[in-house]
Amino acid sequence: MGLGYETAGIQQYSPYKSEVVSIGRGELERLRWKANYYESQFSIKKKKIAGVISKCRDLKAARKRLWQRLFGRKSESGKCGNNGSASGGKRGKQAGQEGSGRKTEGQLETTTETTDLPIDKCKCPKCGLSYEPLEETADSEVIEVEVKAHRRIIKRHRYKKTCQCPKVPVIITAPGVPKIIPKGKFGITFWVYVLLRKFCFQQPLNRVVQELKLINLKVSAGTVIGGFVRIETLMSPIYKAIEERNKSEHHWHADETRWMVFEQVEGKTGYRWYLWIFHSETTVFFKAAPTRGAKVVKEHYGNSWGVLNVDRYSSYKTLLGTGCFLLAYCWAHLRRDFLEVEVGYKQFSVWAQAWVIRIDNLFHVNKLRLSYQEGSIERTECQSELEKQMGQFKEKLEQELKDFAEEIPSARRKVLESLKNHWYGYTLFVQFPWIPMDNNRAERGARDPAVGRKMYYGSGSADSALFSAEMFTVLSTLELWGLNPSLWLTAYLEACAKHKGKPPKNLKSFLPWEMSSRRFRQLGGTQRLGSYAAITKEQIQCATVDEIFLKKKSRPSGKSLAKENIVPPFHKKYAGSSIGSSPMAG
């Protein structure tokens, strides 16, 4: 059989050379079956290899992201110049600009000291005649900080009766100094000092004890912890009042961060707890919980209703089922997703940067819209421009999802599919301008506790974790209102001391939203806050119906709405409209 051909005198094998071979039908079917089998096996192995390659690429991207988090720049702004400024210019005071000069600390307590020259220095060094004194002086100032611990010896006068009246005390004594711990030796200023350093400045308790030792005050950590146990009962009413105020409002920013609690709790494995933050317009509420589940969110909000700025964590999404909440998702988190794609996948960097620029443009237009007065021509023009850009954003999203439909699940598809699945929550800020595009308020609110977690690792017990949440709540709410925490703590603990170590019955003078204007100014406040949420419960219910409509592409029946007691007053506006034509669809 001629199985080859000759080229330049060399005989080579050619599998494509035509030749006639006689085989039986059974053998032919067997060979065809083998060919199909090996072809399918090849296809399976090819897909498996592609999956392994994709997984390796994802692992490399994850390694790059982790490296960026540990050693890279923390800012998510544009690349910096050589001098570290995002704008490329020099940091600090710019050339040609007038400086601010020295600040006058007129609010500080002032003491006046005089210095004089020695008598022999007030004479002329040549003739010896004395200098004549002038009325004016050469003045200068020095800022001093003096921290000291001192003992107060309280001598209470006693009196003996001189009459013979029955059932009257023989000796009477002047009352003692009020204390928050009746038989304790530490005064209110001590506890204010310790509380501020522990929960406001996030210093470890051991370091606070060492600092007190530097000013000749030796106190053990156990003594301070015992005092915290007593103070927890005093702070509990304030904590509950802030919680009720927080629940009564209708717009929040929510987030959670891990908080270690080094105590074995029944039914829980490990020491990882979570510190939840619910930031409203007038309060900041923290809650320590052993779980990160939806139970915490449902227990906190109960029968409340409103708008929640959150990330895409699933626990918050359980509130959508109540029909009383709208979730506004954070655009900063979405922007971060594209930045992580840029860091992890060099081949997608240009694509990711294009999406980051689109998101930055939305932030810019929305900021410009909010800078103009409501009802003005400029505000209307910015609103139109924002709606136009949102429409283009949605079109680009749908187009790229079609282009990547056949692509193996990759980082690009995951980001775009997540954006599509949460699109409704991303568009709420367009219709309701008072809803921020990001969740920065909650993330910044949790920053101080996060610093504390890094400094002293968390709490040593469950009770300590709950007390930490109480103090974070009180101090953060005071900071939100611009009140001086030192003045407030002093005033509140003095009131508790006057009530024999118990909380005062009337808390109005200590709640920022209820205290008088005079009291507000005495505690360092300058401007009051107000709760603002320009939305009604009916609007939220209607918007919830719209979200269902957009996801299912079918309008809920009247019976299903009646069951939920949802009556959409402006729902006819969307009747017969397509998904793309709905204003909420962008």
Q: With helix as H, strand as E and coil as C, how does 491-502 read?
A: HHHHHHHHCCCC
**Whether residue 201 is found in the same domain as residue 258:** yes
Q: Would you call 69 helix, strand, or coil by DSSP?
A: helix
Tell me which residue of 535, 540, 474, 505 sits closest to 323, measured CA to CA: 540
Task: Please give the backbone phi and psi of residue 178, each rounded to the nearest 5 degrees, phi first.
Answer: -60, 140
**Whether residue 426 is found in the same domain as residue 462:** no
Tell me which residue of 525, 526, 568, 528 sits closest to 548, measured CA to CA: 568
Is residue 567, in this structure, part of any structural domain at all?
Answer: yes
3-state helix, strand, coil in the chain (%, to 5): 50, 10, 40
Q: Of the candidates 377, 403, 438, which is a domain's last residue?
A: 438
**Whether residue 224 is found in the same domain as residue 242:** yes
How far, in Å, are 11, 365, 382 from residue 385 at the CA level?
74, 8, 5
Q: Would you say 304 and 25 are in contact if contact means Cβ atoms under 8 Å apart? A: no
Let me know the angle formed at the C-alpha of 328 by 327 and 331, rounded to the nearest 5 degrees: 140
pTM of the model: 0.80
**Whether residue 365 is found in the same domain as residue 387:** yes
Beta bridge partners, 326, equal 307
Tens of pLDDT, residues 517-553: 999 999 999 888 876 667 777 778 777 655 554 454 4
Beta bridge partners, 251, equal 307
Is residue 119, in this structure, part of any structural domain at all?
Answer: no
Measured distance CA(15)–CA(545) in Å, rounded: 66
Q: Which segments of the chain have a pLDDT < 50?
A: 1-10, 79-87, 549-550, 552-586
**Whether residue 456 is found in the same domain as residue 312:** yes
* Predicted local distance difference test score (pLDDT) of residue 7: 44
Find all residues with CB under 8 Å of 333, minimum gap 6, and list them.
Answer: 311, 312, 439
Let me know the angle formed at the C-alpha of 497 by 496 and 502, rounded to the nearest 5 degrees: 45
Tell me which residue of 568, 547, 562 sits closest to 320, measured CA to CA: 547
Q: Would you call 307 helix, strand, or coil by DSSP?
A: strand
Is residue 235, in this structure, part of any structural domain at all?
Answer: yes
* Predicted local distance difference test score (pLDDT) of residue 11: 52
Is residue 479, in this structure, part of any structural domain at all?
Answer: yes
Between β-strands 158-160 and 306-310, what pairing exists: parallel, antiparallel or unpaired? unpaired
Q: Would you say 306 and 293 are in contact if contact means Cβ atoms under 8 Å apart? A: no
Which residue segment(s) compose the domain that 344 sits in?
331-438
Is residue 114, in this structure, part of any structural domain at all?
Answer: no
Measured distance CA(226)–CA(205) in Å, rounded: 13
* Predicted local distance difference test score (pLDDT) of residue 106: 74
**Whether residue 428 is found in the same domain as residue 547:** no
Find all residues with CB under 8 Å of 420, minimum gap 6, and list them.
Answer: 397, 398, 401
**Whether residue 314 is found in the same domain as residue 213:** yes
Is residue 396, in this structure, part of any structural domain at all?
Answer: yes
**Whether residue 313 is found in the same domain as residue 338:** no
**Whether residue 471 is found in the same domain as residue 501:** yes
* Predicted local distance difference test score (pLDDT) of residue 356: 95
**Whether residue 344 is found in the same domain as residue 488:** no
Task: Please give the backbone phi and psi of residue 545, each rounded to the nearest 5 degrees, phi first.
Answer: -60, -40
**Tokens found for residue 429:** 């800020």
Find all residues with CB under 8 Å of 199, minimum gap 6, and list them.
Answer: 452, 468, 471, 472, 475
Q: How many domains does the chain have?
A: 3
Q: Please give the distance of CA 485 from its chain centroid, rounded to a whole number.
A: 21
In 113-184, which ranges are E strands?
Answer: 158-160, 171-173
* Predicted local distance difference test score (pLDDT) of residue 336: 92
Q: Of the candidates 407, 438, 469, which is a domain's last residue?
A: 438
Measured distance CA(522)–CA(528) in Å, rounded: 13
Q: Would you say 319 and 308 are in contact if contact means Cβ atoms under 8 Å apart? A: yes
**Whether residue 261 is found in the same domain as residue 370:** no
